[in-house]
């Protein structure tokens, strides 16, 4: 279910500041045409914290429609740092959602015992499989390989988006001994190639708005054991990812997508501000000439 590249879609805005639903649909079809196995709606890349409930519902609706047409997996980000409200949000997910990406509780720092209790409680109530979002540099809560392995043994917990800021010992340990039916998806774009080399199933990658086919080919190359091709692709894509993350995500990505005519504006909502012209130009240059 989780293998391959899943693109966490940006939320485009039109000139009046409203959600550009037509542009979301266009982007969704494009990345699926180019080899993505699924979409992620309402992730950090989609600026979920700035969307009101009606806007969130419209984003899910269009993504669910596209995924149903294309027989692709739709994963929806479910935010919250307390168990009760997160469980309620899971129960309220509409039809068409195939999985939920749920972040490790942020700011509260409940400890690993609290993390286990949180996800085990959610797993008993969720209507769809859960993907743990492990990103300790945002949440302030580290989670060890042993804890992730324990959670991965629950039949309703399907995987983890692993974004620890690099390849650490826990990543090596986890991938060396995964529970049956539990997959690791890379979440740090620049490190996706080495994580795939260690056995990751795929990735949830904002950079894959661009060069989607190349990211899909990278997954295939590692899974097929073609290390020479995979290393070449991985180095090229890491340079592109670095350029796209030169400013806070998704500002540069939106700037590039707008320059390509794929979204109506490069706008983001405060507290984000649009990427500078130099960052956008550099990212476009690296995407065209990644070796330079």
Query: Does 60 show up as a binding residue in the annotation?
Result: no
Closest CA to 288 of 236, 246, 245: 236
77: left (phi over 0), alpha (psi -120 to 50) or beta: beta
Beta carbons of 148 and 175 less than 8 angstroms apart: no
Q: What beta strand segments (E) does 136-209 contain?
A: 157-162, 183-186, 202-204
Both tokens assigned to 166: 């690099």
Residues annotated as part of the active site = 133, 161
| Residue 216 neighbours by CB distance under 10 Å | 20
Peptide bond into 48 cis (omega under 30): no
Closest CA to 96 of 120, 60, 125: 60
Give the dihedral of Cα atoms 43, 30, 207, 144; nearest 10 deg.
50
Q: Which DSSP symbol is given to 62?
A: H
Distance, CA of 199 to CA of 144 (rounded, Å) = 18
How far lies 156's CA from each of 110, 189, 277, in Å?
Answer: 22, 26, 44
Distance, CA of 176 to CA of 178 (rounded, Å) = 6
Query: Does 50 show up as a binding residue in the annotation?
Result: no
Residues annotated in a binding site = 45, 204
Binding residues for pyruvate, by number, are 45, 204
């Amino acid at each position: 279910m989780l293998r391959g590249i899943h693109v966490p879609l940006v939320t485009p805005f039109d000139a009046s500041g409203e959600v550009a639903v037509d542009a979301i649909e266009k982007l969704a079809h494009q990345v699926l045409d180019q080899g993505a196995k699924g979409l992620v709606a309402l992730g950090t890349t989609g600026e979920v914290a700035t969307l009101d409930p009606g806007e969130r519902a419209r984003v899910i609706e269009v993504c669910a429609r596209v995924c149903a047409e294309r027989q692709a997996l739709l994963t929806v980000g479910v935010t919250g740092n307390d168990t009760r409200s997160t469980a309620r949000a899971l129960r309220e997910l509409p039809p068409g959602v195939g999985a939920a990406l749920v972040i490790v509780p942020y700011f509260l720092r409940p400890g690993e015992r609290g993390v286990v209790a949180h996800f085990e409680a959610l797993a008993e109530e969720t209507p769809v499989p859960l993907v743990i979002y492990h990103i300790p540099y945002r949440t302030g809560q580290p989670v060890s390989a042993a804890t992730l392995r324990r959670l991965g043994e629950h039949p309703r917990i399907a995987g983890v988006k692993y974004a620890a800021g690099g390849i650490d010992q826990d990543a090596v340990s986890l991938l060396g001994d995964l529970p049956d039916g539990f997959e690791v998806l890379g979440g740090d774009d620049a490190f996706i190639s080495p994580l795939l080399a260690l056995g990751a199933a795929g990735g949830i990658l904002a950079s894959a708005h661009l060069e989607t086919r190349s990211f899909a080919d990278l997954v295939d190359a590692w899974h097929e054991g073609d290390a020479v091709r995979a290393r070449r692709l991985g180095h090229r894509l890491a340079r592109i990812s670095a350029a796209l993350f030169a400013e806070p995500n998704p500002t540069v990505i939106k700037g590039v997508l707008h320059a390509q005519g794929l979204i109506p504006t490069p706008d983001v909502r405060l507290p984000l501000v649009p990427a500078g012209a130099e960052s956008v130009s550099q990212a476009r240059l690296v995407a065209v000439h990644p070796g330079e």
